[in-house]
Amino acid sequence: MNEEARAAAGQEALAEALPPLTRHEALVESTRCLMCYDAPCTHACPTHIDIPKFIKKINTGNLRGSARTILESNLLGASCARVCPVQELCEGACVLGAEHKPIAIGRLQRYAMDYVYSKGVDIFLTAKTSGKKIAVVGAGPAGLSCAGELAKKGHDVTLFEKRDLAGGLSTYGIIGLREPVGISLAEVEMIQRLGVRIETQREIGEDLVLAELQAKFDAIFLSLGLGATPNLGIPGEEQVIDGLEYIEQSKLNGHNLKIGRNVVVIGAGNTAIDCATIAKRCGGEHVTMLYRRTASEMTAYPHEYDFIKKEGVRFEFLAQPVRIIVEKGIVVGVECVRMSLGQKDASGRPAPRPVEDSQFVIAADQVVKAIGQEKASLAARLNVKTQRGYIDVDEHFQTSLPGVYAGGDCIRTHGAASTVMAVQDGKLAARAIHERLVGNG
Amino acid sequence: MADLRINFAGIRSPNPFWLASAPPSNSGAQVHRAFEAGWGGAVWKTIGAPVLNVSNRYGAWHFGGQKMLAINNVELISDRPLEVNLREIAEVKRAWPDRAVIVSAMVESKPEVWHDIIKKIQDTGADGIELNYGCPHGMSERGMGSAVGQVPEYCEQITGWVMQVAKIPVIVKLTPNISNIVMPARAAVAAGADALSLINTINSIIGVDLDTFEIVPNIGGKGGHGGYAGPAVKPVALNMLSALGTDAVVSESKLPISGMGGISTWPDAAEFLLLGASSLQVCTAVMHYGFRIIEDLCDGLSNWMDEKGFKKISDVVGQSVHRVSDFKNFDLSFKAVARIDQEKCIRCNLCYVACNDTAHQCIDLVAKDGSIVPPGSYDVRSNGKEEAIHTRPSVHVREEDCVGCRLCFNVCPVDNCISMAEEPPERPSVTWDEITQKQPEVTEDWEKMKAYREKMGIHIH
């Protein structure tokens, strides 16, 4: 297979995995919903979408009403329908899960969202102008959610984004088979139609200065996300590809994505699994995930682990890379050391310790690291109070600086970061900002 | 193996299931195939007066994912030539001597016309005749069908004409489009009919098209009432069947009753038998799934009869009739309360909302710490399946406040999760009828009622 054919096959292999529900499927599935009262799925959803309500609206053929129900709680309902770990959230809490199978809530939500996006239906009208100006920094899910909610209230919102495209990880960092880039960009356009002005290639700390924003705007919301993937600190590091860039390439520049024959992915989180999926589906023959602990400590969701095992990806547990072996400028392997698990560390998981004289080599011509992201280094430079490197906020999402709010991954001191949590932060912060600026009403 | 054979007013069939007089029994070829599939009998689609039919004859009501919970139709009686029908009836009967072939008839209300059709039917060798006094559409506009069934005097008169020449059993089919089904039944008894059958279809408009605003089904821009049938009508049919079984005149006549109206499965069939039907007719379920459904109707009924120790159909017939009564005879001291099996409960809270919004507000949401909490009492930041499941309150009935209305039992989606537990009566047994006889003032005056309640310790929540 030539390079071009291989790239085309790779793009096809990374197309959205789940097909949309047919009308019949949506009707059968929505009929199955019991319409629980004070439903546990709604509680489990971080944005508390009234799930039985939107499902029953699908059942009655009121798709516009269904979409409104979703979007009233979660402006990024189309992304969340695709990327939410529903097994851990709404579907995991479904009362039908124990004896039968839970309602396919994510896919029903997508059905309602696809309806409004495919028909070009705008659910919300913008409110009367309030005269208040708000700056939102960072156009990921938290920023888009906050900006959209504030625009709905009639505020004049400018959303600053350092990159070329808005959408944050939804645009750049989530594997296409779960969320194609078009979905994220359609949501960005919807937020723009609500009246939000988006300025891309504007980075705070570079050409944007917080003090100036404070002077020009009535309130500021910081949704900075996280920083870069940390260094492994091992020889040959410069040959290692950053996992997030790997995913970004596959989504936005797939034809130029280079895939190794023997790919080693370092890490065992959800991003690592996305990287391994890309490697395996786009031509990698042997794909190995390298993790210094075991399956029971990995941070990937259980359903993601189940998925990647079926993709034919090999796991090398209790292995830590100590050197990337490079010959004549070409990667040929990863030297590892065997680990054993000891006492629990600060993360509450057993700390891995190297086993003496246990070096071994895994043949590899491409090494990808997906070992989490660093905390936003910016936070400290902005002179806002931080907690363990994350921006510290009060219960109203306000930072130590009055009128400056923050949300999303940059404040997530504990718990799993996810799109839907960021959307909720943005929504709640928008409420707090609105109350601060115009009072409750 | 239970014996499913029946002898219905002298008409014998190997099982109690007959095709009702309707589209499935429109032709000899269809009835042949039905008998091949195992049907015990067929009531031939009504023959008689000349007719022409229209397109878009059937409308349907779909509900909750179930197609054809009910059907309605504006099809008339057979539009095939009379001679063709009579010839095919004779052929079918000759080919299937062990099956019941009954012919439904409807003609103008003139004695000589009725005499003529009855004689023609008898010449085919058919086992019985069913008089169609039921169709609520089309034929009724011409003074036939339900126009006869709705007037007991007509019913009696025409049945009388038929009985003058009838040599084979005559079944009078009653229309449900009447305020009291007992009256035309008594008329049929008085005229000497051999058996009764019910119900025919119920007058209905099945729906309106929300795009075109046309009546469903649309017949060239118009639409109108048609006969309603299918699973949705079963409770109406069971009530009318039991009304005949509990009427002194009809029950003393001992006329057998052929039951129909929404029979789709063997449990439906068993209910009709228990309420007094001794043959069963089926139409909509066959129109939905074809003749093949006869297999489970027989197999399921037979297995159920074996399980319950019934050896033959007549052992089942009417077993529940003596339990049918009127409100005035119900024991006012009978007490049942809802009880929720916490092990089986899936915490859907449907019982809670039904009770709280629409019944008697006696189910509480109880948090882990035992406190009663309102719905939605979790923090806006709380999320995830663990929190949603583990902090979810459980539903508990305050039995002292439960009136035993049974709404929660009905809405619960889990089998045997909510039960209606019989409690020992708190008062001596008494019926409204007894109160009316012994203390009529209590039934007429709220003050007296209040005093009675206080004396008896009846607390209304």
Q: Given B283, B298, B319, which residue is the final one in a domain?
A: B319
Q: What is the SS3 assignment for B62?
A: strand
Gap between the Cα atoms of A402 and A393, Å rounded: 11
For residue B358, pLDDT over 60 is answered with yes
Q: Do the domains A15-119 and A133-227+374-438 sit in the same CATH topology, yes or no?
A: no
Whole-angstrom distance, CA of residue B303 vs CA of residue B227: 33
Of all residues in chain B, the one with the smallest CA distance to A56 is: B64
Assigned fold of A237-369: FAD/NAD(P)-binding domain (3.50.50)
The set of catalytic residues of B is 135
Name chain A contacts of B350, Cβ cutoff 8 Å: 34-37
Whether residue B349 and residue A27 make contact (CB cut-off 8 A), yes or no, is no
Check whether residue B349 and residue B283 sit in a common domain. no
On whether both B186 and B211 belong to a single domain, the answer is yes
Cβ neighbours of B64 in A, within 8 Å: 31
SS3 B245: helix
Identify whether residues B425 and B442 lie together within a single domain: no
Q: Measure the CA dihedral A5/A11/A12/A14, to 10°.
A: 140
Last residue of a domain, one of B265, B294, B319: B319
Bridge-based pairing of strands A404-406 and A319-327 is unpaired
Q: Is residue B418 part of a domain?
A: yes
- The domain that contains B189 carries what CATH number? 3.20.20.70
Same domain? For B258 and B346 the reply is no
Q: What is the pLDDT of residues B81-98, one digit of tens each?
A: 999 999 999 999 999 999
pLDDT band at A440 (very low <50, low <70, confident <90, very high): low
Looking at residue A98, its pLDDT comes to 85
B147 and B190 fall within a common domain? yes
**CB-based contact A41 B388, cutoff 8 Å:** yes
Residue B189 counted as domain residue? yes
Considering only CB atoms, which chain B residues are within 8 Å of A28?
65
Q: Please indicate, yes or no, whether residues B126 and B190 belong to a single structural domain of this protein.
A: yes
Q: What pLDDT, on the 0 to 100 scale, is given for residue A415?
A: 67
SS3 A420: helix
Closest CA to B74 of B136, B30, B21: B136
Residue B458 structural domain: 435-461
Do B218 and B260 share a structural domain?
Answer: yes
A133-227+374-438 CATH: 3.50.50.60
pLDDT tens digits, residue range B126-166?
A: 999 999 998 888 888 888 888 899 999 999 999 999 999 99
Domain count, chain B: 3
pLDDT tens readout for residues B307-348: 999 999 999 999 999 999 999 999 999 999 999 999 999 999
- CB contact under 8 Å between A95 and B352, yes or no, is no
Give the tens place of pLDDT for each residue, A37-91. 999 999 999 999 999 999 999 999 999 999 999 999 999 999 999 999 999 999 9
- For residue range B414-446, what is the model confidence (pLDDT) as tens digits? 999 999 999 999 999 999 999 999 999 999 999
Give the whole-angstrom CA distance, residue A238 versus residue A330: 11
* pLDDT value of position A254: 85
Interface test with A, best of B63, B341, B364, B383 (most A CBs within 10 A): B383
CA of A88: which chain B residue's CA is closest?
Answer: B385
Quick check: is B1 in a domain? no
Helices A419-438 & A141-152, crossing angle to 10 degrees? 40
How far CA B153 is from CA of A71, B112, B169, B191, in Å, comes to 65, 18, 21, 10
pLDDT at B204 over 60: yes
Quickly state the pLDDT bin for A374 (edges 50, 70, 90).
confident
B361 and B294 within one domain: no
pLDDT in tens, A184-228: 999 999 999 999 999 999 998 878 899 999 999 999 999 999 988
Note the pLDDT of residue B146: 87
Interface predicted TM-score of the whole assembly (ipTM), two decimals: 0.90
Nearest-CB residue to B388 (from A27, A43, A424): A43
Confidence of residue A1 (pLDDT cuts 50, 70, 90): low
Among B319, B348, B375, give the residue marking a domain's end. B319
CATH number at residue B337: 3.30.70.20
**Positive or negative CA dihedral for B363, B366, B371, B377?**
negative
- What residues contact B367, with CB distance under 8 A and at least 6 apart? B373, B377, B391, B393
Optimal mutation site among A25, A36, A103, interface B, most CBs of chain B within 10 A: A36
Cis bond leading into A58, ω under 30°?
no
pLDDT above 70: percentage of residues in chain A? 98
CATH class of A15-119: mainly alpha
**Beta-strand relationship, B170-173 and B128-132:** parallel
Give contacts of B391 with chain A, Cβ < 8 Å.
43
Claim to verify: residue B261 and residue B173 sit in the same structural domain: yes
The closest CB to that of B380, out of A28, A38, A48, belongs to A48
A101 touches chain B (CB under 8 A): no
> Smallest CA–CA separation between A135 and chain B, in Å?
24
What's the rounded mean pLDDT across residues B178-204? Answer: 97
**Residues B415, B461 within the same domain:** no
Ranking A323-332, A377-386, B126-135, B234-243 by mean pLDDT, the lowest is: A377-386
Element (H, E) at A94: none
B384 vs A40: CB contact, 8 Å cut-off?
no
Over 80: is that where the pLDDT of A229 sits? yes
Q: Are residues B68 and B202 in the same domain?
A: yes
**Structural tokens at position A144:** 């888009």
pLDDT level of residue A347 (50, 70, 90 thresholds): confident
Dihedral pair phi/psi, residue B452, rounded to 5°: -60, -45
Confidence of residue A127 (pLDDT cuts 50, 70, 90): confident
pLDDT of residue A205: 82
Residue B385 has its nearest CB partner, among A27, A36, A93, at A93
Smallest Cα–Cα separation from A233: which of A374, A362, A56?
A: A374
Q: Which two tokens stand for residue A249?
A: 């390439």
**Cβ(A420)–Cβ(A414) below 8 Å:** no
Q: How many angstroms separate the CA atoms of B392 and A95, rounded?
A: 11
B352 interaction partners in chain A (CB closer than 8 Å): 37-38
